[in-house]
Structure 1
Amino acid sequence: MDYKAIQELIKTVSDSKLTLVELETEGIKIKLEKKQETAVEKITETIKKVSVEEIPQAAAELMTSEEKVQPRVEEVKKEGTIVTSPIVGTFYASQGPDKESFVKVGSRVKKGDTLCIIEAMKLMNEIDSEVDGEVVEVLVENEQMVEYGQPLFRII
């Protein structure tokens, strides 16, 4: 394999989506490995070429289709009190499958009222309201597994 053929091979691999090519011919072993360029590297490279005003548009163009489909979640400060789970377990909105939910959106609660039950290791733990107010959001579904500190309700 001559020098020109090796150059052509390098160019072909560089222009393709291949990341690794190994070739053995005429007693010569050639291994070409191409590092995948990350989105950060692409954006940094593009930012160097564009003005400050063009950066948001350039970044949007460089995002993969997967990144475009999954919107970024931004924490929005909302008024009210967020009731979080004090334990890991299964969230239950009522005392039983045929019973009415303790609370739902629009329910008025007083400090000490039961909001839900969280089952942990076969123990039923009642979660009580720490404030008076109105339930404006129920952030979990019935029978959903919840983590320690996971938001359950928003009360204003």
Structure 2
Amino acid sequence: MSEKKAILAAVPGVFYRRPSPEKDVFVKEGDEVKSGDTVGLVEVMKNFYEIKAEDHGIIESFLAEHEQLVDAGQEIAIISTK
């Protein structure tokens, strides 16, 4: 049976789904991720903090849009764990 867990922003700032404007997104909905995989970035005053999956599973959905302002502790994505 799978369990749904939220991936949270550790810091407030601007959320990015891709490493740079010319690159593809880190992960898409439906992609499998492992613990420690980067799913996005949050920028705070020109510093970038990686948002990482804490569990193995499938990305079900993103709750934050690319370039959206997020708060610390805000849910970024939902992962379905095994």
- TM-score (ref. length: structure 2): 0.91
2:59 to 131, 135, 138: 135
2:16 aligns to what? 92
C-alpha separation between the residues in 2 aligned to 1:106 and 1:95?
Answer: 19
Aligned residue type for 2:58: E
Alignment of 1:5-154 (within 5 A): 79-154=3-78
- Cα deviation 1:105-148 (Å, max 9, x = unaligned): 10100001001010011101111110000000101110110011
RMSD: 0.8
* Structure 2 residue identity aligned to 1:121: M
Runs of 4+ in 1 over 3 A off after TM superposition: none
Counterpart residue type for residue 19 of structure 2: Q
Larger radius of gyration: 1
* Partner of residue 57, structure 1: none
The structure with more helix, counted as a fraction of residues:
1
Q: State the shift of 1:150 in Å.
A: 0.8
Tell me how far apart the structure 2 counterparts of residues 92 and 111 of structure 1 sit (CA, whole Å).
Answer: 19
**TM-score, length basis structure 1:** 0.49
> Any idea what the Cα deviations from partners look like across 1:63-82, whole Å, max 9, x if unmatched?
xxxxxxxxxxxxxxxx4110
Q: Distance in 2 between matches of 1:92 and 1:127?
A: 10
Give the gaps of 5 or more residues in structure 1. Answer: 1-78
